[in-house]
Amino acid sequence: MDFSDIADRGLVLLGCGKMGSAMLAGWLEGGLPPRSVWVVDPAPSDWLRGTGVNLNADLPETPAIVLVAVKPQMMGEALPGHSALGGGGTLFVSVAAGTSIATYESLLGAGTPVVRAMPNTPAAIGRGITALIGNAATGEADLARAEALLSAVGQTVRLQDESQMDAVTGVSGSGPAYVFHLIETLAAAGAAQGLPEDLAMRLARATVAGAGALAEAADETPGELRVNVTSPNGTTQAALEVLMDEKTGFPALLARAVAAATERSKELSRG
């Protein structure tokens, strides 16, 4: 990424918890000078103190970007104090879950370019995926800058409408937890069939991680990959007959789970 504009005008990071730290680490590794970053965080970690960024210092007058990474419940305290940066000179990028673009516009002004983004926890190892959408005041250059910053922690995708963010939350935002639970239950099922618990867990973790990497790297669709490893009347088919049952298997279960997460996201956005 070309950090020249940010290096000249500065980048402000509001909140530096797990997600903020992951992004900051990616930017610094990508060549962003530490002195071009201002971090506002009430409880900075030892790692953050050692990065060389401007920590809880006076902010530049018109930074290029303000990235909001505070928890949603802290938004009411964090954002109003920076309302003077609204109006169009500074791009605001939010990774705070459940906070709508309209909320930012009400605090910063409708003319403020705002990009709302939803990353997920694999961002901590640079393997996340972030969905983003801009308001009417954002141009292509603003979206490109937001994508460049967010790509420091993984892939990015653009949404067509902000209303899609709730479904994104249900699929990729909350999705890692579904996969972690799959690993837990797969390991428990292996232990129930006589494997030592530590061995069952090692097999389950490596299997899910490897299958995910293969699904991402392969030219075939996940459905084709599934067929490729399913021999007629074999062991995999026996298991899939259980997992693919329309009433009790994955199709119905995951549809209900994603719908529940999506609905809860809508409720949180409404406050």
Q: Tell me whether residue 16 is annotated as binding.
A: yes
Q: Tell me whether residue 55 is annotated as binding.
A: no
Q: Tell me whether residue 56 is annotated as binding.
A: yes
Q: Tell me whether residue 71 is annotated as binding.
A: yes
Q: Tell me whether residue 212 is annotated as binding.
A: no
User: Which pair of tokens denotes residue 100?
Assistant: 């709508």
Q: Tell me whether residue 72 is annotated as binding.
A: yes
Q: Tell me whether residue 69 is annotated as binding.
A: yes
Binding residues for NADPH, as ranges, are 56
Binding residues for NADP(+), as ranges, are 14-19, 69-72
Binding residues, as ranges, are 14-19, 56, 69-72
